Structure 1
Amino acid sequence: MDVVIEGDASPGGWPVPDCRCASCRSVRAAPHAPLRVLVDGTPLDELAARRLPGGFAVTAPDGGDLLCADPGGLPEPEDGIVYEAVLLDLLADPSHLGALRASGAVGPRTSVHAVHLDHRIRDESELTRRLAFWTSPPTPPHRTLLLGGSRSGKSAEAELRLAAHPHVTYVATGPTAEADPDWARRVGAHKVRRPPGWATLETTDLDAVLRNAEGPLLIDGLGTWLAAAMDETGAWESPDAVLPRLDSLTASWRAASAVVVAVSDEVGLSLVPDNRAGRLFRDFLGDVNQRLAAESEDVALVVAGRVVAL
């Protein structure tokens, strides 16, 4: 199947007429036309469409099948069909691509295209960056460490990077909801934005998780893991007691065979803590971050939702 994308924007185009947002201003020199696609030389809208919830499917002149989303739609695949190409509104929900992969409708040879583009994305460079994660995900083993301060957007960035994978295990290392109601509210907010097909594992045994992983992992986060490790080893009073845990985690991270994205706090940019426990935690977490960064294929700092590769 030969798919030629002559226009990939939403019906209003990108930039949206008369819109003054930063996204639309960024593409005025090279605008994106509304969706126009040729399939084996035939305009997509001239092929007989099979309407589906959230979109439609067509059979190309060469006999292959193509799935296309409506603007904002999440098209449901047909039973038993592996599509040769899919045109998806990935800005609406990139995890829909993960669901199609999990169902078998999108396979390794399926050509994936993002369509209905508009000012939901910041600019062309951010679109390119995200599409690299969604349409050409890294092959394992691949380790990513995302650093950032409080409310920096680091967790959302981690979720974004794995959104289009078919199966992801979210590893929550924090306290149980029963122990901390405020923490429960934070955990609840994270769960709402996670794809529904993701599994959740609440544990601080990251060595076992990394050794036994059979699919992508999102670990959130290393700060709460370290606090638990320091509690369990008595490191608040005897700091050296936690060092074997740090050594073991580093070895497990180095030996990981999965795609792993871990979130950690960047604690080196704030004031020096005015108490011993705070200084111990800061120093050990800085050590953890350096150890894992040295063993990672990808490291980035997230600031105000913007990502800086390190």
Structure 2
Amino acid sequence: MPDRTLILGGARSGKSVAAERLLADVPNVLYVATGGDDSGDAEWASRVAKHQARRPATWGLVETIDLVPLLSEPGQPLLIDCLTLWLSRTMDALEIWPDLTRAALVEDRIATLTAAWADTPRIVVAVSNDIGSGVVPADPGTRLFRDLMGRLNTSISLASDQALYTIAGRTLPLT
């Protein structure tokens, strides 16, 4: 199995299932959930419950967007789900939405994450949404998010041993 794998695809394309399958035979995976808990959102809670039900009981769980320390230290394989939510929550934490001129702060975080990804001593699989193939968003904040997501996916993909694309539940290698 490659050490660093990025799985891209559209919303509900089967990316998470593909990532889980890649690591299905590994008993001690650490599942890294980047989405937060969104307390009180019943639809989100239902999605989280479905993800939890699919994972083996032997897998650990950490909920964080602080990925660099996890990538920097040796340990069990990581499944990061997902980089799209990492970017959104990072933009929230850096208060980018009310002041889009602060986007360079996010670019720095992307560069730091990519360096940690490239140097990680762990086996790591990450899931991310491909959102750049659609219509150009009408508002500047959504355009910035789309552009940063493209930069993040590109930098992580180029630092990966393997990149896969999932569509309609089928996973294809990107070469």
Shorter-chain TM band: over 0.9
User: Alpha-carbon deviations, 1:65-88, whole Å to 9, x = none?
Assistant: xxxxxxxxxxxxxxxxxxxxxxxx
1:266 aligns with 2:130: yes
Could you list the structure 1 runs, at least 4 aligned residues long, displaced by more than 4 angstroms after superposition: none
> Which structure 2 residues correspond to residues 267-306 of structure 1 after superposition, within 5 A?
267-306=131-170
1:210 aligns with 2:74: no
Q: TM-score, normalised by structure 2?
A: 0.93
Listed as ranges, the gaps of 5+ residues in structure 1 are 1-137
Separation in 1 of the partners of 2:65 and 2:120? 16
Higher Rg of the two aligned structures: 1
1:182 is matched with which residue: 43, 46, 56?
43
Q: Which has the higher helix share?
A: 2
> Which structure 2 residues correspond to residues 1-310 of structure 1 after superposition, within 5 A?
138=1, 142-178=3-39, 180-236=41-97, 237=99, 238-310=102-174
Separation in 2 of the partners of 1:293 and 1:180? 32
How many angstroms does 1:175 deviate by?
2.0
Percentage of identical aligned residues:
43
User: Alpha-carbon deviations, 1:66-111, whole Å to 9, x = none?
Assistant: xxxxxxxxxxxxxxxxxxxxxxxxxxxxxxxxxxxxxxxxxxxxxx
CA RMSD of aligned residues (A): 1.2
Matched residues, number: 171
The 3-state SS of whatever aligns with 1:178 is coil
Q: TM-score, normalised by structure 1?
A: 0.54
Listed as ranges, the gaps of 5+ residues in structure 2 are none
Separation in 2 of the partners of 1:277 and 1:195? 38
